[in-house]
Structure 1
């Protein structure tokens, strides 16, 4: 039998979980995503805003891991500690569904990439693609059942492997960089005004959200860390490393192709940029890198989804059966439920017109709400002074960071649009059934008065979304 000590994770493994969770399909699509919306200046402003906001969130995770070392699986536990059982549950179920959607997007994109070479896979939502994706889904399920540490080790290997094509792309783009093309792309429009740049920035902000999802990877796995200090350090180091890669991939591409050409590139856009420099073999090389990247990203999300359900069950806010582990200390019931939900999402993609894009945007919307609750808890601790009795200077700094992270998360929800907030409510509402079961098991009061008000707003939003879907006011 595997002992808990066998399952502990080093700082390097925790950094690997952060990087592995963040670096996925998004980075390979950046050249086209930014090319459609903005030029160099707008891209730099967008990355500055997004980078600052997410860095502050990374600092919040680091601070909370140090201030509240008693709280494991931070994405859920922090929300519960700050705002009560139901919002803690909402953070857990929202993050869990977001992880399931992210895994679904990974599976679709794997098959869509293979569809360039195997026509039967098409855009990743054909019958053949769904069947083969399902085989992959349950194959990884069997792998994870053998132990968290083994899966995390494989994730670390995949993380290193997928860094290779990205780093090679950056080197090739650096030497293929043309100053005259970069100058033509600089402002992104013929009239470089403040309003035009601001409009360009707004068009790119939602694209930045998805590529940062996963920043909480080390925090979610805090109960496995050999040293709790490693959790915060791994979060910040992983974030800074990924931010550098994202900025380099985006900005260097502006020196290779003009904006209209970048915007027209198919997924993975990075492959098109590479091919324009080195020829057709660049397309194949980056496509292989994309597959490795997505497989590693998929594994990370599988681990995170099951872990959040398991931790919430241990805290008695999810049903008790989700706390069951196997002999290898793997949260087996949570893993089964997560993969069943992913399988259902896969089946739904057969009928969806833009399944991949919808999954990406819904992932961002679902995870932004837990991020907002974590940032608000960091702000709340600093505001009330809890845990800061003899540390006034740190309290001020942490309060500023928490405030910036909170405003950033709220701003990103606004930038994403009301449509995705309403669609998120459609998923949150039925998820509350798990909360009902847990509260009944504990023989506890279902809602406090403020929680009942939150639940009522959620139900109204979900009903409004369903009516809008039925009338065609909202489309998917």
Structure 2
């Protein structure tokens, strides 16, 4: 979860709202994402037979085709999210090398592409080496963020903080909060990470525990970074900072060394997050292929347990999106918002599945692992005697929250998401042909028609200038 997003939070929030809106936004996002974390925790206990988290839950609840779309959408969001890392790295270096601009110049894209494929070669050597690097990076990247919060509190100006409380010039409070929602989704991506890797867990309850503890600790960091920034500079000045805005905010308080300190921390953090998300994306394709929901070639691994075909396809999509950012007015925010939008469908389907099995008579007694501890006992009780009220309430709130996020994303990113989703059906068809099965059922044909129609409308909207990247 701790990657590029946290370093962009001050500027992104200041563009949309003041302190009042930020507090409400974090309350909404915190509650909604906590419910999603609880959803993954509950599903890990009640359905231990399902691996690969988000994708597996969609498939079990709503069929193979929507499960396939969930897997593809989650994978695609990871690929687009990886692009934000390279854009932000180049934008950071662009502060001293103007030719890199905001990470969207030709030179920046070329250098990012070199880094993209260099990481492909590193990860291709072995997952163990990549995981070891990521453990070191995880510690290294947290230090600059915590130092930023402490220094910002020390240098906080109460009068500046008070002036930034309201942002009446940015419209209604509802619209301000809505404008921050995709940013909050982006920074919390990874909350489902333990669920994605659930097949590796020694104890099933550890999946849920890791999910909730990870969310709570990161939520505290993200909210703190956002709020304390309002005490150092006027909101309009924070909004105008180049990304990573955290560096500019700290520079205003302690001088140039603060900007360098945060910038170095960002590069370390982003490279670590890129490594983790590259592995995560490949894992989703690998598991889907082993479950025969993706073509067989994506399930191949080397002796070092590296899914090279899945890793290669992940790098190719990231490369394509990286080139597209050149044509965007704001490369970083475009990639950030698209990443969030692509994730919403998989999250909504997972929450809806949790709601489905929480309804009376829908539990699975046989799905609870024996000796699973308190969490497993609760799951067994819910499965045998009807759903727990807590599970039902959590699922309802999670569904409402993810549905609201789709509304907050706006028509633009929903249509662009359709453009990404629709061509993915080619992989679904390949998998069905390999198994010599009927390509689509009647229900799946309806889903196909909706996805194609959305993609056509999206392409027309871009061509006619109704929406812009």
Q: What TM-score, normalized by structure 2, do the two folds share?
A: 0.93
Aligned position for 1:380 = 356
Distance 1:473 1:196 in 2: 25
- Asked if structure 2 preserves the Cα contact closer than 8 Å seen for 1:218 and 1:235, the reply is yes
Note the 1:102-113 alignment, pairs <5 A: 102-113=81-92
Worse overlay, 441-450 or 68-77: 441-450
- Asked if structure 1 preserves the Cα contact closer than 8 Å seen for 2:88 and 2:332, the reply is yes
Distance 1:206 1:341 in 2: 21
Distance 2:176 2:111 in 1: 39
Distance 2:91 2:230 in 1: 26
Aligned position for 2:373 = none
- Asked if structure 2 preserves the Cα contact closer than 8 Å seen for 1:112 and 1:122, the reply is yes
Aligned position for 1:467 = 460
Structure 1 residue matching 2:438: 3-state secondary structure: coil
Distance 1:416 1:344 in 2: 22
Structure 1 residue matching 2:420: 3-state secondary structure: helix
**Unaligned regions of 5+ residues in structure 1, if any?**
1-21
Distance 1:426 1:200 in 2: 28
Moved over 4 A (4+): none
Q: Deviations over 1:379-399 (max 9, x none)?
A: 111014322663247622111
Q: What TM-score, normalized by structure 1, do the two folds share?
A: 0.91
Aligned position for 2:117 = 138
Cα RMSD of the aligned pairs, angstroms, is: 1.8
Structure 1 residue 306 corresponds to structure 2 residue 299:
no
Structure 1 residue 339 corresponds to structure 2 residue 315:
yes
Structure 1 residue 236 corresponds to structure 2 residue 201:
no
Aligned position for 2:368 = none
Distance 2:67 2:347 in 1: 12
Q: Deviations over 1:93-136 (max 9, x none)?
A: 11111111111121122112112222332332333322322221
Number of residues of Structure 1 aligned to a counterpart in Structure 2: 452
Aligned in 2, Cα 1:340/1:203: closer, same or farther, shift over 3 Å?
A: closer
Distance 2:318 2:110 in 1: 13
Aligned in 2, Cα 1:127/1:36: closer, same or farther, shift over 3 Å?
A: closer
Q: Deviations over 1:78-100 (max 9, x none)?
A: 11011000000000011111111
Note the 1:126-205 alignment, pairs <5 A: 126-189=105-168, 196-205=172-181
Aligned position for 2:60 = 81
Structure 2 residue matching 1:36: 3-state secondary structure: helix
- Asked if structure 1 preserves the Cα contact closer than 8 Å seen for 2:32 and 2:398, the reply is yes
Distance 2:162 2:220 in 1: 22
Distance 1:348 1:421 in 2: 17
Structure 1 residue 452 corresponds to structure 2 residue 445:
yes
Structure 1 residue 439 corresponds to structure 2 residue 432:
yes
1:297 offset after TM fit, Å?
Answer: 1.5
Aligned position for 1:403 = 396
Aligned in 2, Cα 1:197/1:228: closer, same or farther, shift over 3 Å?
A: same
- Asked if structure 2 preserves the Cα contact closer than 8 Å seen for 1:40 and 1:185, the reply is yes
- Asked if structure 1 preserves the Cα contact closer than 8 Å seen for 2:182 and 2:341, the reply is no
Distance 2:345 2:128 in 1: 29
1:190 offset after TM fit, Å?
Answer: 8.4
Aligned position for 2:272 = 296
Aligned in 2, Cα 1:405/1:133: closer, same or farther, shift over 3 Å?
A: same
